């Protein structure tokens, strides 16, 4: 798998350090609030697992699964909910955990969908932000890293469901995804 990468842009150590910092920020911001952390499957699972261990507060966790990519490198713009929440979020403070914000189309849909359920608040935490690709405005409250417009994999991010288990984030060689 490592041979499929052009370069590593974020090491395991850099990610670990930043996740701990995000956990501290979230702990401070959500003191005395009823927090529900919602991971967007599958990409955010690795990040969310590490992040919630750094948040020193009681919390509920839940997951949503949405699709807009399939086996492509670009979002189709059509969002489909594959797995909805198992619990109610009414009057609770919701923190959406996502692996990457790219065009923002998927997250805009998720935020609007969750807001219709009457939570106390909805905020977004992402490991990676790619603002150069943004098609719609999305308010990212907690951002791990801002990255350039390159196709990245590792630490939960995939191409065709592969590479999620890499402990770092690397740029996939174009010949891998243009086959």
Annotated catalytic sites, by residue?
102
Partners of 4 in the beta sheet?
Answer: none
The separation between CA 53 and the C-alpha centre of its own chain, rounded to angstroms, equals: 16
Task: Give, as one character, the DSSP assignment of residue 111.
Answer: H
Query: 3: number of CA atoms within 13 Å, CB side?
Result: 0
The candidate with the shortest Cα–Cα distance to 162, out of 5, 52, 39, is 5
Give the list of residues 6+ apart from residue 105 with CB closer than 8 angstroms, or none: 68, 75, 77, 79, 135, 136
Side-chain-facing half-sphere of 150: CA atoms under 13 Å: 17
- Read off the tokens for 70: 């399939």
Reported as type and span, the H/E element at residue 120 is none
d(CA 134, CA 83): 25
Confirm if 175 and 9 have CB atoms less than 8 A apart.
no
């Amino acid at each position: 798998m490592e041979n499929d990468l052009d370069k590593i842009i974020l090491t395991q150590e850099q990610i670990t350090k930043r996740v701990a910092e995000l956990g501290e920020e979230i702990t401070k911001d959500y003191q005395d609030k009823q927090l529900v952390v919602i991971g967007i499957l599958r990409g955010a699972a690795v990040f969310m697992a590490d992040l919630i261990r750094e948040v020193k507060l009681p919390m509920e966790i839940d997951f949503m699964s949405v699709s807009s990519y399939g086996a492509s490198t670009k979002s189709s713009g059509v969002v489909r909910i594959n797995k909805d929440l198992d619990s109610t979020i009414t009057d609770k403070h919701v923190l959406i955990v996502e692996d990457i914000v790219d065009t923002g189309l998927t997250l805009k849909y998720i935020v609007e969908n969750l807001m219709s359920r009457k939570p106390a608040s909805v905020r977004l935490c992402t490991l990676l932000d790619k603002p150069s690709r943004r098609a719609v405005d999305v308010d990212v409250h907690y951002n791990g890293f801002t990255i350039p417009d390159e196709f990245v994999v590792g630490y939960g991010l995939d191409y065709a469901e592969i590479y999620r288990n890499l402990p770092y984030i690397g740029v996939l060689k174009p010949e891998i995804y243009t086959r």
